[in-house]
Amino acid sequence: MKRKLLIVCAAAFLSSSSFGQVTDLGGPLSWKTPLKSASLLQTKKMKSFDMKTVETQDLVNDQDKSIPYRFGYKFDTDFTLDNSGSWENLADGGRVWRLAIISDDAITMNLLLEDVVIPKGASLYLHDAENTNRVGAYTARNNREDGLLGTELMRGDHMVVEYYEPASVIGQGSFTIVNVIHGYRTLTHVQNNLTKALNSSGNCNIDVQCPLGDLWSNQIRSVAMIVVGGSGICTGALINNSCNDGTTYFLTANHCLGGSTGNWAFRFNWEVSAGDASLSCATTTNTAGTYNNSSNWDQSANGATILASNGASDFGLLQIDNMTVTDASNWGLFYAGWNNVDTDGTITSAIGVHHPSGDIKKICEEQDAPYHSVVSGADVWWIDAWDSGVTEPGSSGSPLFDQQGRIIGQLFGGAAACNGTSNNNQYDFYGRFGVSWGLGASTYLDPTACGGGSATSNPGYDPNPSTSSLDKLVSNLFTVSPNPSNGFFKLDLGSTSLKGANVTISDMTGRVVLTQSINSISTSLNLSSADNGAYIVRVISSEGSQVKTIVLNK
C-alpha cells in the first residue's frame, strides 16, 4: 500500500503582501533600527550528526509510504526568553530579544515552538544574518490555547530569532523553541529563486491552469497544501456546510494525522496565477524560473482542531483555527460541495486536485467510474488507472470530486505515478465520503441548527461570488471514439440542439492544435499530423461546456 506523504520541500519568503496568519509588519525591527550587530549575538550551534546513518535510514524509510518522507534532522532544544539570547532596550520603552542559531550546511531551517504567548503589539520573526531572507511576523493572531506554533522554512544554515515587545506589554510574552530542524535533502528547487517545490513532481502531472482544469475552477480554489508538523506534506480541501456560513472546515486523510495539528500550516493558492496568460499552463518540464512571478503562493493559515476522524474511511475533518470567511473571500477561495450518496455505480467519472511532492497544484482525471473496494479494513473508491495525470507522495488527503464537482472522498493511497512523461497506469484508492458521513462528518457539515440532517449533496459555497467560474458544468455533452486512436476520432453530440457548437483541441501545455465548428450530430476530428500523446477536447455550446481527454497513439 502506498500512502502518499512527502516532507515539505518549500522555503518561505514573504513579499510585501499579507501572509494570512503571518502578518506583514515591514520586516524585523533590527532591519530598520540600529541595534547590536548580529555577529555579536549569543549563538546556539547545533551539533553535527551522522549523515551516513541518516542516509542509510532514508534508503529504507523512503520505500515505506506509511511514514513521512523525511527531509530534515530534528534537534531537541529548550531555548526560552529567560535562558537564551539577549535583550536590547529601545528608546520608546520597548525591547527586542534576539538569538542566533547555526546548523552548519543546512539547506533550510525551521522551528517548532511550545508555550507560545505573543501579546498584542508584539511580533516574532526569523531571518538570516545578512537581512535578506525572513519568515514572519508571527503575532497575537497566532496564539492558540495549546501554545503550539510551527514556523515556515527559512533557507540557509544561520538563523536569527527576533522577538519584539512594545512598552505596553513588557514581560507578558513567552515561548520555548523545542525543535530546530536542519533541512539536509538536496532541494535545488528551494534554493533557486525561492520557487519552493515548483517543478518537483513527475513530468506527467498536469497543471490546474491547463485545459483539463477549465471546468473545475471552483473545486481547484478549495484545495490547499498542508505542512504537517514541520516535517511532512499532505493535501486537503475547504469543505462547505449546509449553513453556507463560511466555517473553515477542512477535509483531509486520517493517516495524515498524528501528533498535534496545532503546528500545521495550510498553504492556499500555491499555483500559477490564472490571470497571467504567459503562465497559463505550467508543466513540470518547464524551467522553474519561468514561474517566479506567481503572486498567490503566500496565503497561509496556521493551526487546526480535529473535529472527527476515522480509519474506516481514512478521513479527518478539521477546523482551521483563526482563519475566517473574510480571509477565504480575500484569497478567492471556494468551499467545496459534497455528495454522500455512497451507492456503487452512481459516480460516472472523477477528478482529483492535489499537490504532488509539494509542487504547484495539479489535476488528474478518471473518465471511467470508480468503484467500491476495501483496503486494510477501510472502505474506498478504487480507481484502476488515471486517464490523465497521476497522484504522488504529498497528494495524500486530496479530494476526489464526482462528475458534478462534489467531494466523494480523499486520497488514501495507491501505486499511481509518472513513468517519465507518461502515466504508469497503476491504481489509486480514496476513502469514501459517504462512509465518513456516518462516522462524524454529518454532525458538522449538515447540522440540524441550519435545518439540515437529511441532505445528500451540497453544491459548495463561494464567499466571493465574483470569482465563480463562468462555465456551466455539463455531463455527457459529447463522446469521442475510438479512444485511443491512430489520429482519426469521431465526436458524437448528445443532442441535435448542440449543432453550431465549437470544438477546440489542445495539448497538455495549452497549445491549440485544432479548432472547428460542429455542424452535424457526428463530426470527424483529424489529428493524424499531431504528435502522439494526450490531448484535451473541449466543446463550447449554448448549453454549457465540457472537456474530455483523448489519446493519440499512431
- 230-253 confidence digits (pLDDT tens): 667 789 999 999 999 999 999 999
Q: How far from each other are the two terminal CA atoms of the chain, in whole angstroms?
A: 35
Q: Does residue 425 share a domain with residue 401?
A: yes
Q: Does residue 293 share a domain with residue 355?
A: yes
- Kindly give the pairing relationship between strand 544-552 and strand 533-541: antiparallel
All residues at 6 or more sequence positions from 7 whose CB lies less than 8 Å from its CB, including other chains: 68, 69, 70, 71, 72, 185, 231, 232, 233
Q: For the chain, what is the mean pLDDT?
A: 82
Q: Does residue 260 share a domain with residue 382?
A: yes
What is d(CA 221, CA 207) in angstroms, rounded to the nearest whole number?
A: 13
Residue pointed to by grid coordinates 455539463: 474
What 3-state class would DSSP assign to 496?
helix
DSSP conformation class of 494 = S
232 or 315: which leads in pLDDT? 315
Residue pointed to by grid coordinates 533557507: 155
Q: Quick one: cell of 233?
A: 506534506
Does the residue 235 lie in any domain? yes
Does the residue 473 lie in any domain? no
Q: Does residue 57 share a domain with residue 123?
A: yes
Q: What is the CATH number of the domain that holds 499?
A: 2.60.40.3080
**Mean pLDDT value of segment 360-369:** 91
Whether omega for the bond prior to residue 34 falls within 30 degrees of 0, making it cis, is no
* pLDDT for residue 466 is more than 60: yes
| Number of domains into which the chain is organized | 3
Q: Does residue 441 share a domain with residue 352?
A: yes
Cβ atoms 12, 156 nearer than 8 A? no
- Express each pLDDT in 123-145 by its tens digit: 999 998 888 888 888 999 889 88
Q: Does residue 219 share a domain with residue 256?
A: yes
- Express each pLDDT in 522-554 by its tens digit: 889 999 988 888 788 888 776 667 778 888 888
What is d(CA 112, CA 362) in angstroms, rounded to the nearest whole number?
A: 29
Does the residue 470 lie in any domain? no
What is d(CA 29, CA 73) in angstroms, rounded to the nearest whole number?
A: 30
Does the residue 3 lie in any domain? no
pLDDT for the residue numbered 22: 62
All residues at 6 or more sequence positions from 89 whose CB lies less than 8 Å from its CB, including other chains: 95
The model's confidence at residue 370, banded by pLDDT at 50, 70 and 90, is very high
* pLDDT for residue 163 is more than 50: yes
Domain housing 535 = 478-552
494 or 115: which leads in pLDDT? 115
191 or 209: which leads in pLDDT? 209
pLDDT for the residue numbered 68: 56
pLDDT for the residue numbered 276: 44
pLDDT for the residue numbered 12: 32
pLDDT for the residue numbered 61: 64
What is d(CA 546, CA 175) in angstroms, rounded to the nearest whole number?
A: 53
Helix (H) or strand (E) holding 544: strand 544-552
* pLDDT for residue 473 is more than 70: no
Q: Among 314-318, 369-373, 501-505, 521-525, where is mean pLDDT lowest?
A: 501-505
Nearest to 252 by CA among 270, 277, 218, 227: 227
Q: Does residue 369 share a domain with residue 417?
A: yes
CB atoms within 10 A of CB 41: 21
* pLDDT for residue 157 is more than 70: yes
The model's confidence at residue 277, banded by pLDDT at 50, 70 and 90, is very low
Q: What is the CATH number of the domain that holds 327?
A: 2.40.10.10
Q: Does residue 290 share a domain with residue 419?
A: yes
> Would you list the DSSP string of 348-408?
--EEEEE-GGGPSPEEEEE-SPPEEEEETTEEEEEES--SB----TT-TT-EEE-TTS-EE
pLDDT for the residue numbered 467: 57
What is d(CA 154, CA 70) in angstroms, rounded to the nearest whole number?
A: 17
Q: Does residue 243 share a domain with residue 126?
A: no
11 HSE (CA, 13 A, CB side): 26
Cβ atoms 538, 546 nearer than 8 A? yes
* pLDDT for residue 34 is more than 90: no
CA distances from 334 to 155, 219, 513 (A): 31, 7, 32
Q: What is the dihedral of CA 343, 347, 350, 353, to 10 degrees?
A: -40
Nearest to 550 by CA among 402, 282, 367: 367
* pLDDT for residue 291 is more than 70: no
Does the residue 461 lie in any domain? no
pLDDT for the residue numbered 90: 95
Does the residue 400 lie in any domain? yes
Q: Does residue 68 share a domain with residue 154?
A: yes
Does the residue 13 lie in any domain? no
Torsion angles phi and psi, residue 441, rounded to 5: -65, -35
25 or 225: which leads in pLDDT? 225
Does the residue 468 lie in any domain? no
Torsion angles phi and psi, residue 352, rounded to 5: -115, 140
- The pTM of this model reads 0.74
Q: Does residue 104 share a domain with residue 175?
A: yes
Sign of CA dihedral 14, 16, 17, 21: positive
Q: What is the dihedral of CA 51, 57, 58, 63, to 10 degrees?
A: 170
Cβ atoms 467, 221 nearer than 8 A? yes
- Which residues are known to be catalytic? 255, 314, 396
Q: Does residue 144 share a domain with residue 212?
A: no
What is d(CA 1, CA 71) in angstroms, rounded to the nearest whole number?
A: 22
**Mean pLDDT value of segment 74-96:** 95
* pLDDT for residue 286 is more than 70: no
What 3-state class would DSSP assign to 251?
strand
What is d(CA 437, CA 435) in angstroms, rounded to the nearest whole number?
A: 5
Cβ atoms 292, 315 nearer than 8 A? no
Phi-psi region of 259 (alpha: psi -120 to 50; beta: other; left: phi over 0): left
Domain edge (last residue) among 166, 191, 216: 191
